[in-house]
Amino acid sequence: MKEIFVSDLLRRVGNATTIELHGWIASKRCQGKVIFLDVCDSTGKIQVVISGNDVPSRMFDSVKHWPVESGVTVHGALVHSPKGQPELHAIDITLVGGVTKEFSPHPRSQIDIFDEGLIPHLLTNRHMYIRNPKVMAILQFRDCLMHYMRTWFHSNRYTSIEAPILTPVPLYDDGTAMPITVHDEKVYLTQCVGYYLEAAVHAFERVFNIGPSFRGEEGRSKRHLMEYWHIKAEVAWCNLDDIIASVENIVSYLTKKCTEEQGLTIHAALGTNLCTDGLVTPYPRISYEDAIRLLSCKGIQTEFGKSLSSDCEAELSKHFPGRPFWVTGIPRTIEPFPYVIDPDDARITRVADLIASNGYGELLGTAEKISDIQMLDERLRDKNKGGDARFEFVRDVHQVGCIPHAAFGMGVERMVRWMLNIPHVRDCIPFPRTFKRSITP
């Protein structure tokens, strides 16, 4: 098993002999009797110097012909150059993984992964370009974000409840979900695990689920995937203000921890700084009604009761420069049934959406959930689901000790995209499933 990583060598102060390093050739230069290789692994890259004086001439001649991307094992001495740069002086090098197929550009080379002309090739060959240092930096960041998300849940008494993917009940209308027939039964791939967390919240009080969610409807914007990772949480004895405060706490915490841990790496790999707009809480709020009034003053007309478009969100974000902001009081016409109707204004729900700074659009939603069976039945009828037997289990939960509870849901890829200033959510997941492209690999 591999024991020494490039990052260990880069951190090492003194020189050392008998180093064994496994890695891949990222680039190569031959200068007479010396070959310089950049050998990389998951933690970085280091220069390997192969001198005709130090290795057998047969080995030296072989290395000349090894293509970049080859997997190699190097034995040698760690030496610091006069400038203090660590490099590995090889005494032996073995070809472990050869190259029998050419990918151009080379997967590990410095390329613009956001170049629209290159993107179809990169996506078709994602299984190769996942080796690219920029792709890797994004996915390492994603891993870091999910790690701290779980750390937050763990230190705040939340229990993980892995809810099922196969479900008879979508959150929105059946036509918006992805159907599947399982042993002659027509069900759906989960659109939202809220129904299951709601059942569980009456036991565990604070629950979360991090898992895949699916959309059947096409959504060709830069923040929609067919299959994405969804963080959902539900909290008992909690109202809308409480859940908003929790989410602000989370976003601020994630911003802080991810910046500390990944800021330099991201800057080195992508040349950009992390977005730290989420650091300072609380975030400003604007009601949906005020938002459409404000947009109207700017010449953008939105009918009360319709969703705010991406353009509307981008325009609103100019009103709150450098800050994410809440849109509160979303109309009942556009929200699904489980959310509380505002007691003071029956046109709207106790739902607030968090909109990213810099025009990145909706990041996540929070809601007070219905605990009263009468209100639930009214809302089921509102959405033409009254009498639909599939929702009886949701009604059951509301008939036995159902107490005030609230929820939030955020897409992992949207959060990564916003914090890294990345054009499209497809770059924020290892193997994206988009609407335009077939599912392959």
Q: CA separation (Å) from 431 to 2, 140, 226, 307, 310?
A: 26, 14, 11, 30, 25
Residue 236 interacting with a second copy (CB under 8 A): yes
Residue 37 interacting with a second copy (CB under 8 A): no
Residue 187 interacting with a second copy (CB under 8 A): yes
Q: Using alpha carbons only, what angle is made at residue 254 by residues 418 and 357, rounded to the nearest 5 degrees?
A: 30
- Is residue 218 exposed (0-12), middle (13-18) or buried (19+ Cβ within 10 Å)? exposed
CA 303 – CA 242 distance, rounded (Å)? 30
Cβ nearer to a second copy, comparing 2 with 80 = 2
Task: Quote the DSSP letter at residue 175.
Answer: G
Residue 237 interacting with a second copy (CB under 8 A): yes
Residue 94 interacting with a second copy (CB under 8 A): no
Residue 127 interacting with a second copy (CB under 8 A): yes
Residue 265 interacting with a second copy (CB under 8 A): no
Cβ nearer to a second copy, comparing 169 with 364 = 169
Q: Collapse the DSSP code of 126 into the 3-class scheme (helix H, G, I; strand E, B; otherwise coil) and give the result.
A: helix
Give the number of residues in contact with a second copy, rule: CB under 8 A: 99
CA 395 – CA 198 distance, rounded (Å)? 11
Restricting to residues 54-93, which ones interact with a second copy according to CB under 8 A? 69-71
Stretch that binds a second copy, among 119-127, 251-259, 348-356, 416-424 (CB under 8 A): 119-127
User: Which residue of 199, 294, 300, 314 would you call a contact of a second copy, by CB under 8 A?
Assistant: 199
Residue 232 interacting with a second copy (CB under 8 A): no
- Tell me which residue of 92, 110, 63, 77 sits closest to 4, measured CA to CA: 77
User: Which residue of 242, 289, 290, 382 would you call a contact of a second copy, by CB under 8 A?
Assistant: 242
CA 284 – CA 304 distance, rounded (Å)? 21
CA 155 – CA 149 distance, rounded (Å)? 10
Residue 249 interacting with a second copy (CB under 8 A): no
Restricting to residues 162-181, which ones interact with a second copy according to CB under 8 A? 162-169, 178, 180
Least distance to a second copy, CB of residue 369, Å: 13
Residue 182 interacting with a second copy (CB under 8 A): yes
